[in-house]
């Protein structure tokens, strides 16, 4: 059925029925190894997940991994022009749950991001990035234990949609003329060499993201949802995001305005506790998360803000080497590391594999394999507590033992209890 993807004979497809995933004991899970350090972290992740599943279910359950291709490896397996084969997209559509390593995006020219393309083509509109501190991880802040945020980043709109026109091209000039002649825009400073980007933000796109963020707060007994935006400057995109978010909280979740202001609160139907819905302007939020992290729990924000914020907050809990993520749509989810391909470390068996391993932990919970997910978490905590860590933690952790990427995976497995 596929040209270059081998379907494992010992596995069955996950399906989606009546609004729920139906997961067999031997699910086929597609994975993309990834460029750069993908070659280091992805095998480490596969080994750790297999060990956790084996330990949790003693052979009654296992994952039938199925490699699918994107990025540089795809150009070797298919042909030099094929970066994201149709059959890779078809596999994610068919098998519903997947995981990926990082993929390279050249700066300033060449192809657009394959990572963003996957999210857009499969409409994985939620980018969920939980950021939590593991005891013992070196941090630049005094109380990293106060950092416990889950970022819901809108994943399909904003400047990330890639509607851009290069300076000097016919398209850019045409759009400039339209802006000036038809819309009377007269504050573009250097029209002769001006690139243009369009930032689409819709009510539908905003509200489907915010709905997931509020529902997450309800399901996980979280105290607040903070809408992060730059609406003072970008009124009809980021400002509208804020307004549509509050509107949704009130209309769909029955939130009531508090203190006569914009903020509102709703009663969690599962716990009876109050959940505050508030908003903070994006630049201020970057200092808030450093100075008062305990006041922030669930965060709902636009695509670019979420990209910046997730790396910045990750730095407080040890860096992007340990921060996991997931791209989630109505039926399909692809779990992925927060970091990129870190090319200078590629193939050195050096980097921290925790980001993609903890992304796999999210994936195990997503398919309902909680016992394996818990084992995986205990393994990561145990390895860090034993101070057997990769270079990124070792350089900040006194008395630690430096281990390689693959050795760290083995340490995680040793500490799974
Ligand atoms: N989702 C994805 O696939 C993403 C892809 N990218 C792409 O990756 C490429 C490189 O991007 P770049 O901006 O350099 O960002 P990277 O995330 O690849 O690397 C930046 C730095 O972060 C640290 N780092 C990253 N991963 C790890 C890890 N696993 N363990 C320890 N430290 C880590 C390293 O810091 P130090 O030097 O201090 O050791 C590294 O130099 C670009 O093409 C970019 O577009 C970027 C982000 C996400
Ligand atoms: O796709 C890319 O190259 C970068 C994406 C990114 O930084 C992210 O999703 O966090
Ligand atoms: Mg990023």
- 146-179 exposure pattern, b = at least 16 Cβ within 10 A, e = fewer: ebbbbbbbbbbbbbbbeeebeeeeeebbebbeeb
Q: Ligand 1: distance of its center to the CA of 340 in Å?
A: 4
Task: Collapse the DSSP code of 266 into the 3-class scheme (helix H, G, I; strand E, B; otherwise coil) and give the result.
Answer: strand
Higher pLDDT, 109 or 397: 397
Q: Which residues are catalytic?
A: 160, 230, 283, 307
In this prediction, residues 385-398 reach a mean pLDDT of 94
Per-residue pLDDT at 354: 97
Q: If you average pLDDT over every residue of the chain, what do you get?
A: 96
In this prediction, residues 194-218 reach a mean pLDDT of 98
Whether the per-residue pLDDT at 109 is higher than 70: the answer is no
Which tens digit of pLDDT belongs to each residue from 139-151?
999 999 999 999 9
154 lines ligand 2 (CB under 6 A): no
Whether the per-residue pLDDT at 351 is higher than 80: the answer is yes
Give pTM, 2 decimals. Answer: 0.97
ipTM of the complex model: 0.98
- Which residue has a Cα nearest atom 32 of ligand 1? 321
- Which residue has a Cα nearest atom 8 of ligand 2? 307
Whether the per-residue pLDDT at 411 is higher than 70: the answer is yes
Q: Ligand 1: distance of its center to the CA of 68 in Å?
A: 22
Pocket test of ligand 1: the residue of 117, 311, 314, 320 to mutate, having most ligand atoms within 8 Å of its CB, is 320
Per-residue pLDDT at 260: 81
Per-residue pLDDT at 110: 67
Residues of the chain with pLDDT > 70: what percent? 99
215 lines ligand 2 (CB under 6 A): no
Pocket test of ligand 2: the residue of 100, 105, 313, 336 to mutate, having most ligand atoms within 8 Å of its CB, is 105
Q: Pick the ligand that lies closest to the CA of residue 303.
A: 2
Which tens digit of pLDDT belongs to each residue from 307-328?
999 999 999 999 999 999 999 9
Cα→Cα distances 167→153, 163, 177, 196, 199, Å: 29, 13, 13, 7, 17
In this prediction, residues 111-119 reach a mean pLDDT of 90
Residues of the chain with pLDDT > 90: what percent? 95
């Amino acid at each position: 059925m596929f040209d270059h993807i081998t379907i494992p004979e010992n596995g069955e497809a996950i399906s989606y029925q009546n609004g729920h995933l139906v997961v067999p004991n031997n699910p086929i899970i597609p994975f993309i190894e990834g460029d750069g350090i993908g070659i280091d972290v992805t095998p480490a992740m596969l080994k750790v997940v297999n060990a956790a599943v084996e330990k949790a279910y003693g052979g009654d359950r296992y994952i039938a991994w199925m490699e699918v291709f994107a990025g540089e490896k795809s150009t070797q397996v298919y042909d030099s022009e094929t970066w994201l084969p149709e059959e890779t997209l078809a596999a994610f559509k068919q098998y519903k749950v997947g995981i990926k390593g990082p993929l390279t995006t050249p700066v300033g020219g060449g192809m657009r991001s394959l990572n963003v393309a996957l999210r857009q083509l499969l409409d994985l509109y939620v980018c969920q990035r939980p950021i939590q501190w593991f005891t013992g991880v070196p941090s630049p802040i005094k109380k990293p234990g106060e950092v416990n945020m889950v970022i819901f980043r809108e994943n399909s709109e904003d400047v990330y949609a890639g509607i851009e026109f290069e300076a000097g091209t016919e398209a850019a000039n045409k759009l400039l003329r339209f802006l000036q002649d038809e819309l009377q825009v007269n504050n573009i400073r250097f029209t002769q060499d001006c690139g243009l980007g369009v930032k689409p933000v819709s009510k539908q796109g905003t509200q489907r993201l915010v709905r997931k963020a509020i529902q997450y707060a309800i399901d996980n007994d979280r105290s607040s949802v903070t809408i992060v935006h730059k609406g003072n400057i970008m009124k009809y995109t980021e400002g509208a995001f804020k307004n549509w978010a509050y509107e949704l909280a009130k209309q769909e979740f029955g939130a009531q305005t508090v203190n006569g202001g914009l903020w509102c609160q709703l009663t969690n139907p599962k716990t009876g506790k109050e959940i505050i819905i508030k908003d903070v302007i994006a630049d201020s939020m970057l200092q808030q998360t450093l100075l008062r992290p305990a006041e922030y729990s669930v965060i709902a924000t636009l695509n670019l803000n979420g990209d910046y914020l997730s790396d910045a907050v990750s730095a407080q809990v040890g860096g992007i080497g340990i921060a996991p993520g997931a791209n989630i749509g109505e039926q399909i989810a692809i779990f992925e590391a927060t970091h990129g391909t870190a090319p200078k470390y590629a193939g050195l068996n050096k980097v921290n594999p925790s980001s993609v391993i903890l992304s796999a932990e999210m994936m195990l919970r997503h398919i309902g394999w909680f016992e394996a997910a818990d084992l995986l978490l205990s393994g990561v905590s145990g390895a860090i507590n034993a101070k057997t860590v990769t270079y990124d933690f070792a350089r900040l952790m006194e008395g630690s033992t430096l281990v390689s990427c693959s050795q760290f995976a083995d340490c995680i497995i040793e500490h799974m209890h």
